Each structure stands twice: as structure tokens, then as C-alpha cells.
Structure 1
Amino acid sequence: MGHRTCCVWFNMALSVRMNVRGLYRFIQGISPHKRLFCTEQPPKTQDPSLMRVFSGIQPTGVPHLGNYLGALESWVSLQNEYSSVLYSIVDLHSITQPQDPQLLRESILDMAASLLACGIDPARSILFQQSVVSEHAELCWILGCLTSMPRLRHLPQWKMKSKQKNEGSVGLYTYPVLQAADILLYKATHVPVGEDQVQHLELAQDLARIFNNKYGELFPEPRALLSSTRKVKSLRDPSCKMSKSDPQKFATIFLTDTPEDIVFKIRRAVTDFTSEVTFDPEGRPGVSNLVSLHAAVSGLTVEDVLIQARGLDTGKYKSLVSEAVVQRLQPIRLEIQRLRADRGHLLSVLAEGGAKARSLAAPVMTEVRKRVGFS
């Protein structure tokens, strides 16, 4: 459920307007672990065994460094925080944009390899391909029949992307309803999201209430886990987030970049004409982006990073940043390479995860069908 390009849903760069309820929840946040905080504190009497995390990521190839620091790193941590965790490669969502079928098949496996290499552990979480669980689409239809068109029309996904293309598909329009179905199908109680996804999660909360009021209590209202990690900006334009779709090929660091690629891209990163390394996001966005990046990959505070950079000009500091990024990503890159070469293992992991996901989804949909009147 991110950076936007991970639930789900890392490639959705959207503006967010939090309503009064959402803002209240944001202010009331607590910190369950280092990188995430919950927008609503769970009741003290809530059984931890009933708490469940769900998130998803589109199969758009190998993630970039912003995806990793903004979402995937936290996903790995959540496996230790919650007893039930599901991560879905949301291929149904991906076809709201044109896809080449063969490329999509390979992208699904690339994403599976990337998630496993980052630390997603099938023994501690369920990793699966969304489309193999048909209940996602069925619940989406039922929830869509409980959703008004004005409610969807004002969500940021539709407003942004329909304007970009001067038109939008029905799938793009109902995309947030499918997101809600993804979450409610597993009775998820917590969803890691970026700030640009808060409104979509609120739709899931609203639909849980609407269904419960109409058909009887069934779905919990999922709570947001908002990442506190600073967003990684483009190396070539620090006013924008790092993105896979950035037309400037030196702007984005991918998890599969070689050490040489990383050094070259950071050397080409935009800074300014002042040689001293300082942290001033407004006045010196380029240098500040490198400082934030250095702090994130090294696990240090910004203050500690500035102490390390004392006496260095920005050129020499870029070498220090490159070394830290390479050290962090090199094991992941090598593991992705190893996993890509073992296609059978990737297919087996997804098949096993799909079977586990279906075993959770099937009884929920059986109850939904009964309450709606289908059976």
C-alpha cells in the first residue's frame, strides 16, 4: 500500500488534501517503531493476533532507491511488528495504464525478486500476485455499488491522471474502490501508506462503515501507518520526487544499479555554487537532498552526517554519499540477480503466497455473499 510507487502503490504521485478527520488522526499519531506511526492508536484491549497489515505495489519493474527508503524498508520492519502481514503485487491495478503482456509477466517476477531481496520473508508474511485471488475483483464490484460517483470524482488519482491524458478509463476511475477491496478482503487493520494515499484509505474506512451499517458488522476500519521517512528527491531536479518515469536517466538510482552507475549518478547530482555542505532544504535543495539520502542509507541523523561532512566540499562529499549508497544497495543488487536467475523459485513463492491469500479471502467473501443476498 508509499513512496507512491508501493499500497499500496508507489507510482501514484498525488496531491493530498486531508480533511478535518484525517488531520485529527494525523495529529494523534503514535510511533510503534522507528519509521512508521499509526494515525489512530489501537484500543488497548485489541488482541494483537487480530491485527493485520496489508499493502501492495504495482509491478512496474525494479524499484528505485526512493521506493526502498520510503516504503520497502518499513515493510520489512512490519514483519517483526505484526503477526499477520500481506504484501501484494497488484497487477490488476497496473492495467489502468496500457501494458505489454509479456513485459508485465516479467515485471511481476522482477518485483517479486526485488521484494525478496529487500528482506520480505515468505515465512513471516504472505507475498502474492493480486490477480490470482479472484475475490479482489468480486468484492470491488460489491463495494463499487456502495460508492457514489461524486465521492470518486474528487479523489486525487482520478483528478490528476484524467487531466494528464484528457480522458480516463473506468478502471482508473474505480481504482480506489479496488484498493479498498484489497484491504477489506483480508480484514486488514493497518495499512502503510504515504501522505498522498490518505484520502484513498479514508474511502476504505468509509466503505467498511457503509457495508457494516447496511449488512451488519464485518469489516474493521483500517488505520493508516504513515511513513516518517523523508522523501528522496530526484538527483537532477530536487523539487520533484525520485521517480521511475523521470525522463532524465541520471535522476533515479535503481536497486539494480551497479556501483559505477551509482557513483556516476551521484556525481552528476544537482547541487549549487557553494562548496560547504549544509542542510537547508529551502535554500539549498540539491545539497540537502544528498544529506537526507546519506542519512537514510547510513541510519544516521542529519546532524551526524553533517559532522562527517565537515571540511569537505560538495564534490568530495558526493564521493562519501556514493560510498554509503553502494554499501547499502550492493547486497540487494546481488540478491536480485541471483533470484532473477531462479525463475522457478519466484513462481513457487508467488504460488504459495497466492494459496495462503485465497485461504484468507475465501471465507470473507463467503460471508459477504451471504449478507448481500447472493447465497
Structure 2
Amino acid sequence: AKSVFFKQSDVPEVTELTWLLTTLTPMPMLENCHSYKDKLNKGLKPNHGLFSYPVLMASDILIYDSNIVPVGKDQKQHVEVTRDIAGKFNQTYGETFVIPEPRIRDEVAAVPGTDGQKMSKSYDNTIEIFGDEKPLRKKVLRLVMDSRPPEEPKPDADKNIAIQLLKLFATQEVAKETENKLREGGLGYGDLKKTLFEHYWEYFAEARAKRAELENNLDYVSQVLRKSAEKARALATTVLDRAKNNCGLS
């Protein structure tokens, strides 16, 4: 299957549907969103964009009649908010939106960042896919570990950040073998982080090469984005018109 790859800003119907959905979205629902409360707890000053972001996400899902939404564990609540908003709209104005279901793969339900929190640009703890080798290697080698010596067994090896990340990039056999070595003692953290970087760098090698190729063919990229946006807008317009018609705005 192929994805329709486009810029959200090329589909203005999303913004219009967002406004429509806000008229039915209770404030307490948004106040209880984990991501909003988490950012407030970290000292981020609240604004309307942050507060109403889950409604924009709901619009982005509902406007394409999405039935399955692949998300991480931390994003499940956003799909639940989307379901609640869509359900309330359908109950108020008749069947309008498809009620989506979240799909969470256990092995990537939560990806840890360099500081042990979930990986997020907001927390400045990401390991970039397309960065340069030297700074990325340095970032991986700076992963903070505890002070236990290599020879000491580590029964909590599965909780180690490097092990958790390695499971995303290495084969199951390599990841399990490395985890067992760390658990039994004899594997130093420095060697563990070097192993992680090697598998990380190799895992995204093909993607980096493809990106470099596309950077030298931006006309093709623009063409793909334009055609994909046309396809996305065709569906988005249909869903938006359905919503406006059902609530008496057209």
C-alpha cells in the first residue's frame, strides 16, 4: 500500500473543520489531556494553540474518514478524545464521522529519549534520523547510565535506555543477546552504546540515501506533494461538506 504524502497546510479544510469541532468540545475534556497537563507541569506557558491542539488532531483524523490510527501509547488519549468529539457530533447532528480505533504496536508503544523520558522534540531528547554521523554518535555515547561496573550483573537490563532503543534497530537475536550480556555482567556501558549506534546508523542508511537523492530533486518532491494534496483535499472537502450540511451550515 502507498501513503498519500502531503503538507497539512495544503489542506485548509482541516482548519475549518477544527473550528467546527471546537464548538462541541467541552473545556474540561481538553484540560484533562495528559499532554497539556504534562507541559504545564514542565513550566510551559499555556496558550490556545497548546490547549486546543487535540481538536486539531481530531480534525486531522476525522476529515479523511480514518478508521485505524497508528499511535504510540502516549498518544492513545488523543484518539480517545477524537472518538468522543466525533461521537458527540454524530449524536447531535446525525451520522457524520467514522469513529476511529487506535492501533498500538507493543514493541514501539513508547520510545525512550536520551534522558529516559518519552522521545519528543518538546523535551529536546531526540536522536535524529537524518543528522550527521559525528554529532549523532556523540549524542548516543552521552546516554546517561548508572555507575555500576561492567562485571556487575544487571537484573534490570531490560529497563536500560540503550537496550530499549537497540530493540528498535537490531534483529531480535542481537538485541536479546546484548541484553543477556548486560544482565549477566561483562558488558560495559561504553561498548553497549557503541553497539547501539552501529545498529542505529545502519538501520537508517537506506532512508538517508533516499533523502539525499530527493534533496537533489526538489521539483519531483514538489510535484508529489502537490498531487497528494489534491487527492487529500478531494476527500477532505467531501467530509467537511458532509459535516457542514448535517449541522445546517450549507
Which is strand-richer, 1 or 2? Answer: 1
Show the counterpart of 1:353.
Answer: 228
* Pairwise CA distance, 1:127: 1.0
Match of 1:127, as an amino acid?
F
Show the counterpart of 1:88.
Answer: none
Aligned residues: 245
Match of 1:369, as an amino acid?
K
Show the counterpart of 1:290.
Answer: 162
**After the TM superposition, which residues 1-375 of structure 1 pair with which residues of structure 2 at under 5 Å, given as runs?**
79=1, 124-162=2-40, 164=42, 167-230=45-108, 231-235=110-114, 237=115, 239-245=116-122, 252-271=126-145, 272-276=147-151, 280-281=155-156, 288-300=160-172, 302-306=175-179, 312-375=187-250
Corresponding residue SS for 2:5: strand
The 3 A distance-change label for structure 1 pair 211 and 275 is same
Larger radius of gyration: 2
Corresponding residue SS for 1:127: coil
TM-score by length of 2: 0.83
Corresponding residue SS for 1:369: helix
Show the counterpart of 1:46.
Answer: none
* Pairwise CA distance, 1:268: 2.9
Which is helix-richer, 1 or 2? Answer: 2
* Pairwise CA distance, 1:306: 3.3
The 3 A distance-change label for structure 1 pair 277 and 257 is farther
For structure 1, the 5+ residue unaligned runs are 1-78, 80-123
* Pairwise CA distance, 1:182: 1.2
The 3 A distance-change label for structure 1 pair 330 and 279 is farther
Query: Partners in 1 of 2:176 and 2:215 — Cα distance?
Result: 39
The structure whose RCO (Cα within 8 Å, separation 6+) is larger is: 2
Query: Partners in 1 of 2:54 and 2:34 — Cα distance?
Result: 10
TM-score by length of 1: 0.58
Match of 2:121, as an amino acid?
K
The 3 A distance-change label for structure 1 pair 328 and 369 is same
The 3 A distance-change label for structure 1 pair 136 and 324 is same
The 3 A distance-change label for structure 1 pair 147 and 342 is same
Corresponding residue SS for 1:224: strand
Alignment RMSD = 2.8
Query: Partners in 2 of 1:166 and 1:269 — Cα distance?
Result: 25
Equivalent pair of 2:158/2:179 in contact (CA under 8 Å): no
Match of 2:176, as an amino acid?
E
Corresponding residue SS for 1:207: helix
Query: Partners in 2 of 1:223 and 1:320 — Cα distance?
Result: 37
The 3 A distance-change label for structure 1 pair 144 and 278 is farther
Query: Partners in 2 of 1:355 and 1:240 — Cα distance?
Result: 38
Match of 2:128, as an amino acid?
F
Corresponding residue SS for 1:219: coil
Corresponding residue SS for 2:107: coil
Equivalent pair of 1:278/1:306 in contact (CA under 8 Å): no
